[in-house]
Structure 1
Amino acid sequence: MQGKKRKVVQAVSYELVALLFITPAMAWVFEGGMVLSGALALALCLVAMVWNMVFNSLFEAWEKRRRNPRRTLSRRVLHAVTFELGLLLMTVPMLVWALNIGWWQALATDFSLMLFFLLYAFVFQWGFDLLFGVPSATLVKTTA
């Protein structure tokens, strides 16, 4: 699976699985109930899904221009870290507003989520590549 279809399937499946993890965790930590936690988790996931599609398009374009476009361990780590840092900039203000907490508490909360998602993004993307194959941009080009 390649192209836009791959990006949509990857982003949607990533966020759906994430919702299964973060909704009950947020309900437990913030004692806000499943409805509030679910609504906030859904909003965070929607932002993350859009960012995911934009980020992966940019990252794959960057990979394509590399001399060796293969997805190595270090490239997978770079992918996960830069994705999460970009997302952090967008979600901290959402946490401040939705949970009515201070900026430092929201940053700490988001950082905790980021640590979970850092590992989750790494494992999920690797598993997704194993199930559906790597993007065509990362395949080694051979000269004939």
Structure 2
Amino acid sequence: MGIVERIFHSVLFEALAVTFSVIGLALFTNHDVAALSGTMIVIATMAMCWNYLFNMMFDYFVQGEKILRSLKTRIVHVVLFEAGLLLVTIPAMAYLLNVSLLEAFVMDIGVTIFVTIYAFLFNLVYDHARVWVVTGHIETAK
């Protein structure tokens, strides 16, 4: 995956993640949608930078066709990604929403659980769609 495609992948992923996260947080918290939107855009920007760097490092260590990655590899990928991201997003969320670190932790864990499932499904679909776009047919894991 080249630089342009990595950027496309990250932007598409984050745009959808922000939209779904704001909707979820608005349903389960008393925060204003505008404040949540601004916060999630900041978090998404942090996540895009981390996404780019993390996936470059992950691809360096886990080589081969992404379409052939096992379920175990995909789970390790998303857990490591989200754990690294939490280290910086909890303080940012606390500051931007003017809440305690504990409240930010609870909110961020909710978003992280959602985004973890979303990331797994997004990347699975993206990898298969990418193969279909590039080759004209769908590959399956062996």
TM range (shorter): 0.7 to 0.9
Q: Return 5+ residue gaps in structure 1 as ranges.
A: 135-144
Instruction: Output the CA distance in 1 between the equivalents of 2:127 and 2:56.
Output: 15
Secondary structure in structure 1 of the residue aligned to 2:69: coil
Structure 1 stretches of at least 4 aligned residues deviating more than 3 Å after TM superposition: none
Trace 1:85-124 onto structure 2 (pairs within 5 A). Answer: 85-124=83-122
1:61 maps to 60
2:19 maps to 20
1:29 maps to 28
Q: Return 5+ residue gaps in structure 2 as ranges.
A: 133-142
- The letter of the residue matching 1:111 is I
8 Å CA contact retained: 2:35, 2:97: no
The TM-score with structure 1 as length reference comes to: 0.83
8 Å CA contact retained: 1:24, 1:37: no
1:44 maps to 43
- The letter of the residue matching 1:81 is V
Percent identity of the aligned residues?
A: 28
Q: Which shows bigger deviation, 113-122 or 69-78?
A: 69-78
Instruction: Please report the RMSD computed on the Cα atoms of aligned residues, expressed in angstroms.
Output: 1.9
8 Å CA contact retained: 1:92, 1:106: yes
- The letter of the residue matching 1:122 is F
Secondary structure in structure 2 of the residue aligned to 1:32: coil
Number of residue equivalences? 130
Deviations 1:40-98 (A, max 9, x none): 1111111111110010000000112x8xx941110000001000000100100011111
- The letter of the residue matching 2:84 is G
